[in-house]
Amino acid sequence: MAPRIAELASIISANTAKIDDHLNANGFNEISFDENAGDVLSGPGLAAARQAVLEATDELHALMLGPAGILTTPSHNFLISLQAIYKFGLATSFPADREEATFADIASDSGLPESYVRRILRHAMTYRVFCEPMKGVVAHTAASRYLAENTLIRQWIGMVSEEMWPAAVKTVEAMMVWPASQEPNHSGFNIAHDTEDHVFTELSKHPERESRYAAAMSWFATGPGLEPSYVVESFPSVDSPDALIVDVGGSYGGISIALAQEYTSVTCVVQDKSDVVRIGRERLSHDLRNRVSFMEHDFFSTQPTRGADVYLLRWILHDWSDKYAAQILRALIPALKKSARVVLYEMIVPDLGEVSLYQERGIRQVY
């Protein structure tokens, strides 16, 4: 039997060959860190091979690190650099179509001392965010160019580094202060941000933070497996050709819009907070306004739209403890007709051995 490291090397070799053949056959660029390389691996035709390579390289990397390396490699320092890049606009300090800038140029643009800029960016470069083609000169890599050109990914990094990261640091402390609590305002977020309010209530008091969170979630929703097309393709059939779908906590209506475009006879009601509803209405295209509407509603309150065919909750319940998830579902009961369906789209935590540790890690860090 071949040693495990040889098996992993074989898996990596076989699947990178599949990826290379696919790229060549479809005229795509070679995979590289070059700023013009783009994301050529996002196509569905590469999903299985890409996943196999990621899983095998993850395991091989852990084997090469050894026990001490596994325990000491995770680092907060990259988040420090990313937060500084976000906060001081370092990725946008020179346009992506401009080939390079000096550390002094970037310092002048950002208002930071040049020594800070040099230290921050040279650390980010070790993660292949920016590069230094010659001493003292900074150029974009594919990652830093993506950061420079994509507003939503910048908002994601800002939200992670300034909302989620400080909360994560205080999670264990919250477990000690409020042992076994299911209350939404007994969390690391409350300690980190010195508030007695639940995270969504606290963010709503600060429009710039709430807007950043919404933008960050918009970017997150474009990730593999989270696109609206997955909901559309797997959506359960309904008996009525003129079905009414209530999208509970549906944000700006992205899922309902996708459903209405695919199923031209359905009508969708998107429910969310007042500010979200207002923006959703403003963004909705005129051709869908007779079939997609918005309604202000708190999903802990009794469901006001009665007799719908489907009540959809996508990525809602995982934000709440069991106690409050049950309240959200219980609030639907008075509105349900006999044939109604309650459809939940959530990530399911796998049982032991069902998926690779690499896949399981991504799921458990969400839950």
Beta bridge partners of 271: 248, 295
Cβ proximity of 252 and 217 under 8 Å: no
By DSSP bridging, strand 310-314 and strand 244-248 are parallel
Catalytic residue among 186, 198, 286, 318: 318
Q: Which is nearest to 167 in space by CA: 198, 146, 190, 196?
A: 190
Alpha carbon distance 261, 98 (integer Å): 40
Q: Is 273 exposed, middle or buried (0-12, 13-18, 19+ CB in 10 A)?
A: middle
Measured in whole angstroms, how far is the alpha carbon of residue 136 from the centre of its chain? Answer: 34
Q: Is 318 a catalytic residue?
A: yes
Task: Tell me which residues are annotated as active site.
Answer: 318
